[in-house]
Structure 1
Amino acid sequence: MTLAFPNPSRSFDETRNAVCFIGHDGMFQVRFFVEVEALGTFGDYPGGKETAENAYLSAFDALRGSIQDAASKAYARERRNSYTLTSTGFR
Protein backbone atom coordinates (compact mmCIF):
# COMPACT_ATOMS: atom_id res chain seq x y z
CA MET A 1 0.00 0.00 0.00
CA THR A 2 1.01 3.61 -0.23
CA LEU A 3 0.98 6.33 2.35
CA ALA A 4 -2.06 8.63 2.27
CA PHE A 5 -3.14 11.64 4.30
CA PRO A 6 -6.95 11.49 4.35
CA ASN A 7 -7.29 13.41 7.62
CA PRO A 8 -6.17 17.07 7.38
CA SER A 9 -5.98 17.54 11.15
CA ARG A 10 -2.73 18.56 12.78
CA SER A 11 -1.74 19.67 16.24
CA PHE A 12 1.16 21.31 18.01
CA ASP A 13 3.19 19.11 20.34
CA GLU A 14 4.80 21.44 22.87
CA THR A 15 7.08 18.74 24.30
CA ARG A 16 8.62 17.99 20.89
CA ASN A 17 8.31 21.59 19.67
CA ALA A 18 6.79 20.21 16.49
CA VAL A 19 3.57 19.95 14.54
CA CYS A 20 2.10 16.46 14.53
CA PHE A 21 0.03 14.91 11.75
CA ILE A 22 -1.03 11.39 10.81
CA GLY A 23 -0.58 9.37 7.64
CA HIS A 24 -2.22 6.05 6.81
CA ASP A 25 -0.86 3.00 5.05
CA GLY A 26 -3.93 0.83 4.73
CA MET A 27 -5.13 0.26 8.27
CA PHE A 28 -1.84 1.36 9.85
CA GLN A 29 -1.40 4.85 11.29
CA VAL A 30 1.95 6.58 10.91
CA ARG A 31 2.72 9.60 13.11
CA PHE A 32 4.81 12.44 11.77
CA PHE A 33 6.33 15.38 13.62
CA VAL A 34 7.66 18.44 11.79
CA GLU A 35 10.10 20.47 13.88
CA VAL A 36 9.21 24.17 13.98
CA GLU A 37 12.66 25.05 12.60
CA ALA A 38 11.72 23.15 9.43
CA LEU A 39 8.63 25.35 9.10
CA GLY A 40 10.76 28.49 9.12
CA THR A 41 8.76 29.92 12.01
CA PHE A 42 10.50 29.94 15.33
CA GLY A 43 11.51 32.48 17.89
CA ASP A 44 9.70 34.72 20.32
CA TYR A 45 6.16 35.81 19.56
CA PRO A 46 4.77 38.91 21.25
CA GLY A 47 1.40 37.26 21.86
CA GLY A 48 2.97 34.41 23.79
CA LYS A 49 2.50 30.68 23.52
CA GLU A 50 -0.90 30.74 21.80
CA THR A 51 0.30 33.13 19.08
CA ALA A 52 3.38 30.98 18.46
CA GLU A 53 1.28 27.82 18.19
CA ASN A 54 -1.05 29.49 15.68
CA ALA A 55 1.96 30.62 13.65
CA TYR A 56 3.36 27.06 13.55
CA LEU A 57 0.03 25.58 12.48
CA SER A 58 -0.46 28.25 9.79
CA ALA A 59 3.05 27.62 8.47
CA PHE A 60 2.31 23.90 8.37
CA ASP A 61 -0.91 24.54 6.42
CA ALA A 62 0.94 26.72 3.90
CA LEU A 63 3.59 24.03 3.37
CA ARG A 64 1.33 20.99 3.64
CA GLY A 65 2.06 19.67 0.13
CA SER A 66 5.84 19.72 0.48
CA ILE A 67 5.60 18.37 4.04
CA GLN A 68 3.50 15.43 2.90
CA ASP A 69 5.93 14.80 0.03
CA ALA A 70 8.84 14.72 2.49
CA ALA A 71 6.85 12.42 4.79
CA SER A 72 6.10 10.05 1.91
CA LYS A 73 9.79 9.96 0.91
CA ALA A 74 10.87 9.23 4.50
CA TYR A 75 8.28 6.47 4.75
CA ALA A 76 9.36 4.94 1.43
CA ARG A 77 13.00 4.77 2.61
CA GLU A 78 12.21 3.02 5.88
CA ARG A 79 8.78 1.98 7.11
CA ARG A 80 8.28 2.84 10.77
CA ASN A 81 5.34 4.01 12.85
CA SER A 82 6.77 7.43 13.76
CA TYR A 83 9.01 10.02 12.08
CA THR A 84 10.43 13.40 12.95
CA LEU A 85 10.94 15.62 9.92
CA THR A 86 13.70 18.20 10.21
CA SER A 87 14.81 21.00 7.92
CA THR A 88 17.34 18.67 6.26
CA GLY A 89 14.44 16.53 5.00
CA PHE A 90 13.23 19.38 2.80
CA ARG A 91 16.44 19.95 0.85
Structure 2
Amino acid sequence: MRFWGYDSALEASFFIEEDALRRLEPNAHRNESGFLNAFDSNRDVICAAAASVYVRGSRGSYDLVAANF
Protein backbone atom coordinates (compact mmCIF):
# COMPACT_ATOMS: atom_id res chain seq x y z
CA MET A 1 0.00 0.00 0.00
CA ARG A 2 1.37 3.41 -0.89
CA PHE A 3 0.78 6.59 1.09
CA TRP A 4 2.30 10.04 1.17
CA GLY A 5 3.68 12.14 3.98
CA TYR A 6 4.52 15.82 4.05
CA ASP A 7 7.36 17.79 5.60
CA SER A 8 6.34 21.41 5.05
CA ALA A 9 6.19 21.71 1.27
CA LEU A 10 8.14 18.47 0.68
CA GLU A 11 6.25 15.32 -0.23
CA ALA A 12 7.61 11.83 0.50
CA SER A 13 6.15 8.60 -0.78
CA PHE A 14 5.96 5.55 1.49
CA PHE A 15 5.17 1.95 0.66
CA ILE A 16 4.10 -0.45 3.40
CA GLU A 17 4.48 -4.11 2.50
CA GLU A 18 1.73 -6.67 2.98
CA ASP A 19 3.85 -8.55 5.55
CA ALA A 20 4.13 -5.38 7.63
CA LEU A 21 0.36 -4.91 7.63
CA ARG A 22 -0.07 -8.57 8.61
CA ARG A 23 2.35 -8.09 11.50
CA LEU A 24 0.24 -5.16 12.73
CA GLU A 25 -3.09 -6.96 12.18
CA PRO A 26 -2.49 -10.74 12.05
CA ASN A 27 -6.19 -11.52 11.70
CA ALA A 28 -6.90 -9.00 8.94
CA HIS A 29 -8.58 -10.31 5.82
CA ARG A 30 -6.06 -10.69 3.02
CA ASN A 31 -7.89 -8.47 0.58
CA GLU A 32 -8.02 -4.78 -0.23
CA SER A 33 -10.63 -4.02 2.41
CA GLY A 34 -8.76 -5.95 5.10
CA PHE A 35 -5.48 -4.19 4.39
CA LEU A 36 -7.14 -0.77 4.29
CA ASN A 37 -8.74 -1.48 7.66
CA ALA A 38 -5.38 -2.63 9.05
CA PHE A 39 -3.79 0.59 7.81
CA ASP A 40 -6.53 2.77 9.28
CA SER A 41 -6.49 0.94 12.62
CA ASN A 42 -2.73 1.37 12.94
CA ARG A 43 -2.26 4.79 11.39
CA ASP A 44 -0.40 6.25 14.39
CA VAL A 45 2.06 3.34 14.54
CA ILE A 46 2.59 3.47 10.77
CA CYS A 47 3.17 7.23 10.81
CA ALA A 48 5.70 6.83 13.64
CA ALA A 49 7.55 4.16 11.65
CA ALA A 50 7.48 6.38 8.55
CA ALA A 51 8.89 9.29 10.56
CA SER A 52 11.70 7.07 11.87
CA VAL A 53 12.90 6.11 8.37
CA TYR A 54 12.37 9.51 6.76
CA VAL A 55 15.44 11.64 6.10
CA ARG A 56 14.70 15.16 4.87
CA GLY A 57 15.95 15.75 1.35
CA SER A 58 17.31 12.22 1.10
CA ARG A 59 15.01 10.49 -1.39
CA GLY A 60 11.47 10.50 -2.60
CA SER A 61 10.29 7.02 -1.61
CA TYR A 62 10.65 4.83 1.49
CA ASP A 63 9.64 1.22 2.08
CA LEU A 64 8.21 0.05 5.40
CA VAL A 65 8.71 -3.67 6.02
CA ALA A 66 7.69 -6.00 8.83
CA ALA A 67 10.99 -5.34 10.63
CA ASN A 68 9.98 -1.67 11.02
CA PHE A 69 7.22 -2.83 13.38
| Higher RCO (CA-CA < 8 Å; seq separation 6+) | 2
**2:45 aligned partner, one-letter code:** S
TM-score, normalized by length of structure 1?
A: 0.63
The residue that corresponds to 2:18 in the other structure is 36
**Secondary structure, counterpart of 1:73 in structure 2:** helix
TM-score, normalized by length of structure 2?
A: 0.81
Mapped to 1, the partners of 2:39 and 2:31 lie a distance apart of 12
Q: Percent identical across equivalent pairs? A: 37
Match of 1:26 among 8, 27, 32: 8
Which structure is higher in helix share? Answer: 2
Unaligned ranges ≥5, structure 1: 1-18, 46-50
Deviation digits for residues 28-73 of structure 1 (CA, Å, limit 9, x no counterpart) = 110001001101168xx6xxxxx70111110000111000000000
Mapped to 1, the partners of 2:19 and 2:53 lie a distance apart of 18
Which is higher, the Rg of structure 1 or of structure 2? 1
**CA-based RMSD:** 2.3
Unaligned ranges ≥5, structure 2: none
Query: Against the structure 1 CA distance between its residues 84 and 29, is the aligned structure 2 distance closer, same or farther, given a 3 Å change threshold?
Result: same
